[in-house]
Amino acid sequence: MIAASLVSGYRIYEAKEGLNIGTAEPVMLALNPSFANAVSTSIWQHSPSSLTRPPTGELEEYLPSEVFSPRNVILIVGDALRASRMSLFGHDRKTTPFLDAMHDSGNLHLTTRAHSICSESFCGLLGLSTARFVHQIPSTSPNLAQVLRMHGYRVELILGGDHTNFYGLADALGPYDSFWDGTMSNGYLNNDRAVLEKAANLPAFRGTPILMQFHLMSSHALGQRNEPFVSFSPVANYYLRHRLPADPGQAQEWSRNFYDNGVLQLDHTVKELLKTLENLGYLQNSIVVITSDHGEMLGEHGIFGHAFTVRQPALDIPLILMRFGFQGEPIATDRLPSQADVAPTILAELDIQPPAGWSGRALQGAETLDFSFFQQAEEIGLFDHRDEAGIWKFWINMKSQQQYAYRLETDPSEDQNVVQEVPYALRQEWMELLVRDRLRSPAVSEPAP
């Protein structure tokens, strides 16, 4: 009766407040666990058990590297952290003063914008873990945690937010030696102060190499905003649509103020987290990677939030790498990486060979991909990296059959759809690539020129 009252009360609150959360957010799964039994995400239908099936195929065939560099790996994921809203990447507001200072002092060894493989947490986190694109998940290839455990690593997950009820994602990110998420905190599950408190209680480094993955919620609309990080005002949480001003320009301004405050708080949280890990000895010989699961729409094309679109702000994520205690190889920054490249890049820092089934490529190497892919609901697309003049972005809405093509260098806002200017043969090549491996996708036809 208590549980039913809580769910009913929240439903009334949701309706009253006009919350724009939906079934793709962890808070809704916490209140409605039945959503996770037969998941219908905005990407595909599957059973959560398919993500944690017994080892087969590529996993059994993978052989650990006999000689490697056992450095600690610290992976920090900022939920809904959009690169273009970070001063580190040119945003005109000082939203990332700590990371800016690290860059100016030469302590960031990779600072680049990347793209997520989708615009929601579930597939974005799996893309980071499995080094694969949406249509290739689930996979029998070892994920990052499995590869490192094969090399004697401990795996520790400290995740803000709810990963326990979120489609079985906690298990999919494993195996792990220790797990904690926001559902285990004494307060609000999306408060990054709890993540910092958990980190502060870690034992000192004992010599066994470790993968530590942290998930921060400060940049997410559900993340707790704490003083003194309310620097930009007036603000309104764009998940509470009825509280936004009626004027579209003001609504966007208030939403962006709210979001930028969250980015500022996340930057400070990263600073505190790294200081804690340094004091505990985890940074003596380590790499730190800071990235995101997806970007965020802040009123562009009339869209707020994520999980609704493949427009560029929803896919725009940072990729930052720091080295502590060693000198490494140069890392390429002249192309647009994807989430699938993150795990191979981490393994290259450790001199560990990646599994043969991974799609991503290490940014330290000369091998690059001609195409990288993304998908959200009915929208499936690709980036074509082959043209020296710039990157093509192309996608199809599988429901409406509408096609979109943009030159990101000259039209970063995606204002002018130039698909009709693309040569017919090139469009056909793109469409064949997009539908070839997607079993759930209907046939796509292109009229002859």
Domain boundaries, the chain: 49-366, 378-435
34: Cβ–Cβ under 8 A, 6 or more apart, which residues? none
The pLDDT of residue 41: 45
The length of the chain, given as a count of residues: 449
Q: Who wins on pLDDT, 229 or 440?
A: 229
Per-residue pLDDT reduced to its tens digit, 174-210: 899 999 999 999 989 999 999 999 999 999 999 999 9
Q: How many helices (H) and strands (E) does the chain have?
A: 12, 15
Position 37 pLDDT exceeds 60: no
CATH of region 49-366, choose from 3.30.70.1380, 3.20.20.10, 3.30.450.20, 3.40.720.10: 3.40.720.10
Contact 259, 219 (CB under 8 A): yes
16: Cβ–Cβ under 8 A, 6 or more apart, which residues? none
Cα torsion 355, 359, 364, 369: sign: positive
pTM of the entire predicted model: 0.88
Per-residue pLDDT reduced to its tens digit, 90-149: 999 999 999 999 999 999 999 999 999 999 999 999 999 999 999 888 777 899 999 999
